[in-house]
Structure 1
Amino acid sequence: MTLLRRVSISTLAAVLAGSVVSGPAQAALDPAAVAAVVASAADAAASSAPVSTGGGVVERAAAVAAGNAGSPAVLRARAAVAEDYWTAARKASATPADLPSASSAFSASPSSPASRGGSAVAGARPRAGTSGSFAGVGPSGIRTLDATTDSMTGRIFFVDDKGENRSCSGSTINSNGKRIVFTAGHCVHGGGSGRTWFDVSRWIFEPAYHNGSPYGTWTAQSLWTKTGWINDANRSYDVAAAVMQDKDGKHIVDVVGGQGIRWGSGYNRAETMLGYPSAAPYNGTKLITCPGATADDGGFPMLECTMTGGASGGPWLDEYGVRNWAYVNGVSSWQFWRDGDQSKVYKWQSPYFSDDTAGSLFNLVKDK
């Protein structure tokens, strides 16, 4: 009972209602494991204040809703929750994440209705800052599977703040901690008024996905994004990072490798967009690539590509094919289609990767 007395009635009620464990996953955990997760959520909520960085404020992710911190036993229990929850049937039924809301200033047909809520931007340029980069790395040790640039990209599954099963794309990023996955902000938080963090206890990444991953399922430990996205759904800040739990005692980047990251490098760069589109005519089972050159599309980098929803958060890779890793210099954030037909996507935009956006976010999480 000592453990349970550390938890408020409201926190315990939230757990029983499903904000930490729910559905079949709830029955899969014994009472001690549930109590451990509840205690972790209470501890984490006490330390969830925003963290300031030189390039702008980055909000610490919802240690509040699902227990981002905890002992190894707590993390193992949460990993079990995630893996039990994400059955093949739930993955197959997961729909693409909600995309950022539109602004009437856009002349092309956006992929989200203008009434979605929160404020939006039309061509807002990031504040000036220094350029920077961090090199990628292949996997450590001898592997029976050849890790490549593509194997560092994977499919993300999560439960959003409306309780709906969703999917995005993402990529591992090399860092000092070797535990980072980069994606879009709208793959971790709803963005804007009335929206909140997604359930970290059911946020998973499957690298080299093809109806499952040869590298297994990796569970998030914490989720991070910019306050510009959290508060205003500002597409200039639609970028996020997940710190992943270790699996079998290994960091994810040591197993599959990690891309490098680059910011402040301008437009008109030869880049390749990678992702797992799951809306028609695609089904989310295969990695799709779109090579091209980035254009300055009202302040946002743009690539021509026909990928549909589900590709959100996928990396835009600079120096793709040069070695077995490349530099992430964007993530898929916003799509445009023709003739009012969502299957006729013709281009995507990314937030501009500057020190104020991706650079400051990466520097905050690189040692975790």
Structure 2
Amino acid sequence: MSNRAKRLLPLGALAATAVLAASAFGGPAQASPAYASDLLLSSPAEAYGAARFWLDANGAAMRKAQEYVWDAKDVTKLVRSSGDVTDGKPGMIGPKPATTAKVKNVNLPRTIGKVFFVDHKGEYRWCSGASVQSRYGNLVATAGHCVYDMEGNKDVLDRWVFVPSYYQGKAPYGIYVGKQAVTSYALDVYEDYDQDYAFVAVYNGFSEIGAKDVDRKDYSEWNGVKRSYSEEIIDIPGGKTAQEQYNEGAAKYPGDYWTKGSAYYRNRYIVGAAKDTGSLASAVGALGFAWNQKIGEPVIAFGYPGSPHPDGDKPFTGVTPKFCTGKPLAKTYKISDYKVADHVALKCAMTGGADGGPWVIRYDNTKRYGYINGVTSVFHDQDANNRVDHISSPYFDGETHGVYSKANGIQSSRIVGDKGQLLK
């Protein structure tokens, strides 16, 4: 991965410019906003198109997608930082789990899944993500670089969707299309990976339940898949035979009809019926959210790794979820290539594709529930043997909570109406 060149002044020059501007207009410079928010898909019709893009041909586009690309040179070495990163009181959102016990086998939560999108080159890509507690049950937590276009010149990535519990090409709980994303202003503008996280509000899910006949009026108003054709009238189940109907006159036939010779025809209008399946959280649940927690608390990092190690070895396929468990290193770490001053590091060999996956603390293995306290952001090779051996996450602090809170207020939207029609 190579970061795009931002059309911005260096930070020092920018600060000087701000001072000059304040002097010129006789007032103080305004503080930067704490967050950036962008629409991903603004209408249900666009959302339906994105869902169909990934689902058509039995999910061919999902199977074609490749993991988010990390070049070998981007697998960096961690440098110890100060470790003092809390900016307020610790907090948690979500039900309190039972006391967690140490277990050898981890039961995977339904809440984790794959994020799919199209990058600025038109390539199909994936990252990892997870459903997180929210007011409307519609929020996904992932890495910021898995939502925002860090390489091209767009604000956000195209056709963004979340597939919970993705497994070997299947979407067992459906597909949830991104509606609106919120991230840190520092990541959006300065590509500061200290805030490499994003929260995405998604549309409700839907399922297609087959075709149904409608009249011409409903057909003309239908926004989804539809077709019309003419058929010869042979018989109507429970009705009279074609000959009997012919003898009485075709005027008694329901719907549009026309004749050709001695045969009678009618027009049929077929639409693809669908139904709203509710929010993401109603389908798979949601993990809690935690911030300003003590570094070093045991964590489970989940994800869908798929990239090879820098030495070319490729132990992961990306079609099934994996995890790492352990205690993060006690101090925070710097990564100069990504403008990182304070990342939390965990010993783990997961590779690219796992980025965006949740770091979960206080995980209840029976209830498959815990609190998201980080997301995989960058991969590292500490012993210089050309293999990933650590991953790192932004430290979730009060600013992260502020970004989350902004996303938490975004209401749900439906793609399908009460009659099974696609909404505009």
2:53 pairs with 1:96: no
Q: Is the 8 A contact 1:98 1:186 kept in 2?
A: no
Aligned to 1:355: 398
Match of 1:69 in 2: 42
**Residue number in structure 2 paired with 1:141:** none
Q: 2:160 aligns with which of 187, 191, 203?
A: 203
CA apart distance, 1:324? 2.8
CA distance in 2, matches of 1:90, 1:110: 27
Structure 1 length-normalised TM: 0.68
- Give the number of the structure with larger relative contact order, counting CA–CA contacts within 8 Å between residues 6 or more apart: 2
Contact 2:382 2:390 in 1 (8 A): no
The answer to whether structure 1 residue 306 and structure 2 residue 349 are counterparts is yes
Q: Structure 1 residues 271-280 or 148-157, which shifts more?
A: 148-157
**Count of residue pairs the alignment pairs up:** 282
* 1:333 Cα offset (Å): 0.4
Residue 330 in structure 1 maps to residue 370 in structure 2? no
Asked whether the 8 Å contact 1:160–1:197 carries over to 2, the reply is no
CA contact (8 A) 1:160 1:189 kept: no
Deviation, 1:226, is: 1.3
- 1:204 is paired with a residue of what secondary structure? strand
Pairing 1:228-247 to 2, within 5 Å after superposition: 228-247=186-205
CA contact (8 A) 2:114 2:128 kept: yes
1:335 deviation in Å? 0.5
Contact 1:137 1:174 in 2 (8 A): no
State the Cα deviation string for residues 85-116 of structure 1 (Å, max 9, x = none): x86443334232245x99xxxxxx7427x9xx
> Any conservation in 1 of the 2:54–2:60 contact (CA below 8 Å)?
no
TM-score of the aligned structures, taking structure 2 as reference length: 0.60
The equivalent position to 1:277 in structure 2, one of 291, 305, 329, is 305
Quickly say closer, same or farther: Cα 1:55–1:328, change in 2 above 3 A. Answer: farther
Match of 2:325 among 269, 276, 291: 291
Q: How far does the alpha carbon of each residue in 1:36-56 deviate from its partner, in whole angstroms, 9 at most, with x for none? A: xxxxxxxxxxxxxxxxxx995
Note if 1:83 corresponds to 2:117.
Answer: no
| Structure 2 residue 75 is matched with structure 1 residue 111 | yes
Structure 1 residues 263 and 127 mapped into 2: Cα distance closer, same or farther (>3 Å)?
closer
Gaps of 5+ in 1: 1-53, 103-108, 115-120, 139-147
Percent sequence identity is: 27
**Structure 1 pair 244/304, CA: closer, same or farther in 2 (3 Å)?**
same
In structure 2, C-alpha distance between the alignment counterparts of 1:83 and 1:89, rounded to whole Å: 7
Deviation at 1:82, TM superposition (A): 4.5
Aligned residue identity for 1:297: T
What is the CA-CA distance between 1:294 and the residue it aligns to? 1.3
> What is the letter of the counterpart of residue 156 of structure 1?
V
For 2:332, give the aligned amino acid: D
1:122-271 alignment to 2 at 5 Å?
123=81, 128-135=87-94, 150-191=109-150, 195-200=153-158, 202-211=159-168, 212-248=170-206, 249=276, 250-271=278-299
SS of equivalent residue, structure 1 residue 83: helix
Q: Distance in 1 between matches of 2:55 and 2:157?
A: 14
Contact 1:272 1:317 in 2 (8 A): yes
Q: Distance in 2 between matches of 1:151 and 1:164?
A: 27
CA RMSD of aligned residues (A): 3.1
Structure 2 unpaired stretches of 5+: 1-30, 98-106, 207-275, 308-313, 334-341, 411-424
Larger of the two Rg values belongs to structure: 2
Which residue identity is paired with 1:69? S
After TM superposition, give the deviation of residue 205 of structure 1 in Å.
Answer: 1.3
Give the drift of 1:247.
1.1
Please identify which structure carries the higher helix content.
1
State the Cα distance separating 1:203 from its structure 2 match.
1.1
Structure 2 residue aligned with 1:318: 361
> Residue 274 of structure 1: SS of its match in structure 2?
strand
